Structure formats: structure tokens, C-alpha cells
Structure 1
Amino acid sequence: MSPDLFNFYDSIDSLLARISCSLRDSNSETKEISNDSLLELESLFGQALLGRALNLVYNKTPIKLYRTTNGTGQLFEVHGSKLDVVYQIYPGVNFCTCESFRYWVLQQQHQPTCKHVLATQLALPLGRLTEITIKDKAYVELKADLIRARFRSLQPSNASAGEGSSKH
């Protein structure tokens, strides 16, 4: 990874940390990102990506944060554009299984992330998510299900054997 790319991601992390601090220190009941911070976010992510991420944050279907009782295990669930599609995002990990991430981030290297990852990074400091406490065993099972689903999605479909494809 080039030094310029490291600096770019450091800028993103720094801005998100500043936004989190300012929202945490805010005395207001309703948490809102300042206009200056919105302009900075737009300069880093572009208006379209930022707008799509904010739509997810303020969507009727809340972003869920599953957290173990001791707080060490965390996993976000974000609904995709199609409501039957849900993406699991680990905090602090810039990765999503959506098509946009695969194409625009990994292949084209045109965007630093996708709307699902950015939405999770904004939802937490804005308090726009549903937190669900789960037992450690349930968290391990969630992770195992996620890994199994990813492996299944990598397998070539076997239509000649009569297997149907399933949505993940």
C-alpha cells in the first residue's frame, strides 16, 4: 500500500474519531454531525456514497449492533438495498461482501469503502442503531455462520446436480 493511501485512511480515521468525540461531548439529545464535518466527509467519500450511507443510518430499518456481554465481540448487521439482504460488518474492519465493495473498492480502487461500512462508522456515534447483547456462545455461532455463508458463496453453483442457489 502506498504512503499516500496510508495518509488517506489516516485522514478518514482521524475525521471519524473527531466526529465521535464531538458527538459524545455534545449536550444535545439529538446528535447531529456538524456542517464542517459533513463537508469533510463529503470531500473524502463523495456526495453519492455519503448520501447513501446516511440514508442507511436514518432508514426505518435500524442498523443492529450485536455485542457480547463483556463487549469484546461485536458485529453490525446492515440491510442492503434489497430488504432481504443483510450484510455483517465487523467494527474496525473495512470489508463488506456487497457488490459495490467488491467492484468499487477492491477491483477499481475508486472508493475507500462502501455505504454499509461507512453507515456503521456513522451510526455508532450518532446513536442510530439498535444494540443487542448476546452471549459469547451466540456470538461464536454468528461468526461461524458468517464464515460458512462466505465459503458457500465462493463455491461454484452446481446447477447440473439439481442444487438450487441460495441467497446470502
Structure 2
Amino acid sequence: MSRSQQLSFVQAIIASITPDSCTEDMDETWEQLRFFLTDNLILAALDLIDRESVIKYNSPWGRVHYEVLGSTAMYTVFPELPSPDPDNLAYCTCPAFAYSVLISKSQLMCKHVLATLLAERLQKCVERPINADQLASLFKRRFS
């Protein structure tokens, strides 16, 4: 099975999650995800969600910006980054994404991307409104 097919299945599994899913449904969902992702990756993503580390910034013009507080730093996640490469579901600024997903292709995603995708479906993101000046300041701190 190709990487893009695996990602399509993972996307479909994640899309099936709803905030009010019952325990039986979620048990089945975790089993399906375990077919494509490691236990460590799933547990690390769920831990980030439990620690309320997925932050969703909502701009007044409708754009959304995600950041995840990792174990050593804050990382920016782009869950719907338009890419000509079908082998990437999203993009994260963490070193694990660069190495494990982009270079060695040993993983489909990093824990920050998975946490963002799951937190969004489960409605567990910490939501914060942000204006243009705050967003510019956030980008300046993050990318300079």
C-alpha cells in the first residue's frame, strides 16, 4: 500500500471521529489508527490533547493558525497546507517531522500533526482569538 493510500485511510478514520462518539466507537477508531500509526505516536498525541497543548488561534478574517506545545518547544502545525506532494497530509515545524516524515519517510506524521487533527475533530483545541498585530508578533517570534 502506498504512502498516499495510507494517508487517505488515516484521513478517513480521523474524519469519522465526532466529539460525542461513544466509547465503543472510539475503541474501534484507535484500533484502526494503530494499523497505520505506532502506539507511541497515538499515545503522545493524546497526551498533548490531554495537557491542552493544542492551541487554535482564530483570526477576525476567518483564518486559523495552530500551535502545539511540544516537550521542548512550541511548534506550528499547518493541517491543510496545500502541497503538490500527495504524501503529506499536513506540515509541522518540529525536527521529528522533518526527519521522520519528509526525509526518511519512516512515519506518516509527527505527534503534533496527529494531536492537531484529533483535537480539532474532538473539539479539544484551546481556542484563542487573535488580531492582525498579535498574529504578526506571533510569527515574528516564531520565525525570526
TM-score (structure 1 length as normaliser): 0.70
Question: Residues 71-150 of structure 1: matches in 2 within 5 Å?
Answer: 71=62, 73-82=63-72, 85-93=73-81, 94-143=90-139, 145-146=141-142, 148-149=143-144
Unaligned runs of 5+ in 2: 82-89
Confirm whether residue 50 of structure 1 aligns to residue 46 of structure 2. Answer: no
Q: CA deviation at 1:140?
A: 4.6
Larger Rg: 1
Identity %: 27
Alignment check: 8 A CA contact 2:76 2:92 kept: yes
TM-score (structure 2 length as normaliser): 0.80
Deviations 1:47-100 (A, max 9, x none): 1111111111111x43210011242x1111111112xx1011123231112221
Q: What amino acid is aligned across from residue 111 of structure 1 in structure 2? A: Q
Misfit runs of 4+, over 6 Å = none
Unaligned runs of 5+ in 1: 150-168
Q: RCO higher in 1 or 2 (8 Å CA, sep ≥ 6)?
A: 2
Aligned length: 136
